[in-house]
């Protein structure tokens, strides 16, 4: 199955972001992709964190959800919508939700980001808990490709990448990591963490990222990639909008797990 990690440099215009996301998904579909993963905050990167509150949608109702459903159905793709703000019972906090849609346009999964990023090095400061409400449920879904192979797909978002226990709990064949890693943390840790998650879980990793200088002055690392269960980087897009496209192979997955049966050797 061909998969695509889509990289964007999202800004504050919902219209522009959705138009760019659709353009890149069409390119991926034209290249034969069956599963596309958009980055975290693909639909919106505001001037300040509280801007997310204005765009929050309720389940099953909203422009971004309609966009994802329509794109999946029209392009006949499995589409994972990076993340988008979803309303909670607290008007001052939203969920950072990653929604998955089947090629029929049906929502098949929703994962709310569990681990909320906080970072302060004296020059950059981030605290997602100021406006985000953390999720609490590891989430996966089954993706059937066009050849009839079923893949267990585990969901995560960005900062989740630093918490290996989440991925162990997922027990998936494919791990998704839509992200908006900062340039500082991404340059230091992005690739090594992604490859570690692939190796220790003997799973494919699809990591779609924001990658560039945004309107709000934030700089994200990019380097969207697809990694195989042995930790080999199969495709990578460094900076700016684009696609990292690769083939994932069930035979390769099975071979790695048979040759080195580490998952069977777990004791904790």
d(CA 93, CA 53): 7
> Which of 2, 52, 113, 133 is labelled catalytic?
113
Please give the structure tokens belonging to residue 111: 């994962």
Active-site pick, 34, 43, 57, 158: 158
Active site residue 113: yes
The catalytically annotated residue of 20, 40, 57, 128 is: 40
Q: In the Cβ-directed half-sphere of 159, how many Cα atoms lie within 13 Å?
A: 16
3-state secondary structure the chain: CEEEEEEECCCCCHHHHHHHHHHHHHHHHHCCCCEEECCCCCCCCCCCHHHHHHHCEECCECHHHHHHHHHHHHHCCEEECCCEEEECCCCCCEEEEEEEECCCCCEEEEEECCCCCEEECCCCEEEHHHCECCCCCCCEEEEECCCCCEEEEEECCHHHHHCHHHHHHHCCCEEECCECCEHHHHHHHHHHHHHHHHHHHCCEEEECEECCECCCCCEECCCEEEECCCCCEEEEECCCCEEEEEECCHHHHHHHHHHCCHHHHCCC
Catalytic positions are: 40, 113, 158
């Amino acid at each position: 199955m061909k998969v695509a990690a889509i990289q964007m440099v999202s800004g504050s215009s919902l219209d522009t972001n959705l138009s760019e996301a659709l353009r890149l998904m069409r390119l991926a579909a034209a290249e034969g992709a069956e599963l596309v993963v958009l980055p975290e905050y693909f639909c919106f990167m505001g001037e300040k964190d509280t801007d997310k509150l204005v765009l929050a949608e309720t389940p099953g109702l909203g422009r971004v959800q309609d966009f994802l459903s329509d794109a999946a159905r029209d392009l006949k793709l499995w589409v994972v919508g990076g993340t988008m703000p979803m309303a909670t019972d607290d008007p001052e906090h939203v969920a950072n939700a990653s929604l998955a849609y089947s090629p029929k346009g049906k929502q098949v999964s929703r994962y709310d980001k569990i681990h909320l990023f906080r970072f302060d090095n004296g020059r950059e400061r981030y605290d997602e808990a100021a406006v985000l409400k953390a999720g609490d449920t590891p989430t996966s879904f089954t993706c059937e490709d066009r050849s009839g192979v079923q893949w267990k797909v585990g969901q995560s978002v960005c900062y989740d990448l630093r918490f290996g226990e989440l991925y162990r709990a997922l027990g998936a064949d494919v791990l998704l990591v839509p992200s908006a890693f900062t340039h500082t943390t991404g340059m230091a840790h992005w690739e090594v963490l992604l490859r570690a998650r692939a190796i220790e879980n003997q799973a494919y990793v699809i990591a779609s990222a924001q990658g560039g200088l945004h309107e709000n002055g934030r700089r994200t690392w990019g380097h969207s990639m697809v990694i195989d269960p042995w930790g080999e980087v199969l495709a990578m897009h460094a900076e700016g909008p684009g696609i990292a496209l690769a083939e994932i192979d069930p035979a390769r997955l099975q071979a790695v797990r048979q040759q080195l049966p580490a998952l069977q050797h777990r004791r904790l």
